[in-house]
Amino acid sequence: MATARPSTTNSRGRLTRDRVLHAAIAHADAAGLEFLTMRTLAETLEVAPMALYRHVSSKDDLIDAMVDVVFTEIGVPGGGGDWKTSMRRRAVAVRQALTRHPWAVGLLEARRRPGPANLRHHDAVIGRLRAAGFDVIETAHAYSLLDSYIYGFALTKADLPFDGSEQAGAMAGAMLSPFPANEYPNLVEFLSEHVMTPGYDYEAEFEFGLDVLLDALEQGLRPPDRIVSLR
Amino acid sequence: MATARPSTTNSRGRLTRDRVLHAAIAHADAAGLEFLTMRTLAETLEVAPMALYRHVSSKDDLIDAMVDVVFTEIGVPGGGGDWKTSMRRRAVAVRQALTRHPWAVGLLEARRRPGPANLRHHDAVIGRLRAAGFDVIETAHAYSLLDSYIYGFALTKADLPFDGSEQAGAMAGAMLSPFPANEYPNLVEFLSEHVMTPGYDYEAEFEFGLDVLLDALEQGLRPPDRIVSLR
DNA sequence: ACCTGAACACCGTTCAAGT
DNA sequence: ACCTGAACACCGTTCAAGT
């Protein structure tokens, strides 16, 4: 009682930028970005829509800020270990953040005005590769390859219309039902013999592909890891 | 005069689904998907907005159909040559389609009701890999890896806020200007020594990474190409 | 059969006003 | 200083009507 704000219109005290941001992220996580409107957001915060504009200058600004919160969650790759384990950890961290926040796929790299956490992240990844002996061009190769894979996997995963293999079957059936049977024999075989299999776990594909990439980078680019002392 | 339709309200004769589709794609190509509205589309076709609904049942249905047009453009991988060249050609075809239609990135795999061209494409790619000796699991690995890369590259590329290296410089400057100098030394070095270099061509990165992937698949998975006779 | 116009339930956001 | 309410210029789409 002593610490609670005396009496404001909305239930949880004064509106702050942080409350707006985290309510927006929670809403996008739960309902998807297309259902995040300034009006519904205001409703969940129990304020008038226009109250939000004291803390964000526009919906676009809001989304910019949401994206930077995601980059804050991702953090920067730790300095310990060789570049490969460092890049692997970083890739998994991005993947996990995108699993928590599927709406952020396609937005992390899209914003015209990247926030500080975004820039800090990219700066750290580039720095880590350079410190391991990658020259500028090799860094570009490695970064492009890894990020394309990570974002692309998240994209196809986010778009994948099913979660588990039970739903996969129904979904695949619904997808194919408007078409003549045996029109797409290879697709049907693939879905029935793999995707609809009980043990199927698309998420496991991510780390498989990631290791293929890291191994390929190790072989094709500069082989030896130089000094590893990023403190 | 003889072949022209006598007198309808809009300039180019009767409205057809094809005209709606291609006008929509042209508009999205030129202005971006967020500027494609049923109302502006109707305007360019010189009809009332509601006239469109005779040919598409909703905006979502319109976008579904647009996506399938893109898959029609992509086509199916040709049967000739080994799987590697076949998959390479296919990847480049997808890349080119996404260059022409950047709005389609993130939509190609997203639609709940994939169209016939979409399914035919996937069926053909899976069939090509299976015919080359990939088992179902290896096919899943290869497909996931390649598609993640292709879509991810398109995503980061589409989001890249600059086209050539001249604009890159201005853009990078604008991105970093709100922050203290030397806050992101690695990023600054990377941008100034690589991205802002005259010869810089991010598009070339695509085929570099693609070949890394194809080589890795060749080594890591089933080595020999089996019989190649997909007629 | 094909197209139109008015209307409805939404958006993001501006502006003037409240406390 | 912080929040509200009415209003504006948009959306996609329903419905009844025109020819």
Confidence of residue A217 (pLDDT cuts 50, 70, 90): very high
Looking at the structure, do residues B31 and B65 belong to the same domain, yes or no?
A: no
pLDDT (tens digit, 9 = 90+) per residue, A99-133? 999 999 978 777 778 899 999 999 999 999 999 99
CA of A4 to C1' of C16 (A): 32
pLDDT for B203 equals 85
Q: Are residues B152 and B169 in the same domain?
A: no
Is the predicted pLDDT of residue A211 greater than 70, yes or no? yes
Burial category of A139 from C-beta neighbours within 10 Å (exposed 0-12, middle 13-18, buried 19 and up): buried
Six-digit token string for B154: 């398109």
Minimal CA separation from A9 to chain B, in Å: 35
Interface test with B, best of A144, A171, A203 (most B CBs within 10 A): A144
Classify residue B173: in a domain, yes or no. yes
C-alpha distances in Å from residue B126, one per residue of A142, A184, A197, B129: 28, 10, 17, 5
- Asked if the structure places residue A4 within a domain, the reply is no
CB of A204 within 8 Å of any CB in chain B?
Answer: no
For position A36, which CATH number holds? 1.10.10.60
Higher pLDDT, A208 or B202: A208
- Based on the domain organization, do A148 and A72 belong to the same domain? yes
Domain that holds residue B186: 165-195
- Cβ contact, residue pair A145, B109, below 8 Å: no
The tally of domains found in chain B comes to 3
The whole-model pTM stands at: 0.88
Domain membership of residue A202 (yes or no) is no
Taking 80 as the threshold, does the pLDDT of residue A92 lie above it?
Answer: yes
Q: Which pLDDT belongs to residue A11?
A: 56
The answer on A131 and A118 residing in a single domain is yes
Contact yes or no for A147 and B147 at CB 8 A = no
Determine whether the interchain pair A106/B155 forms a contact, defined as Cβ–Cβ distance below 8 Å.
yes
Statement to judge: residues B86 and B175 lie in one domain = no
Average pLDDT, chain B: 85
pLDDT top residue among B12 and A94: A94
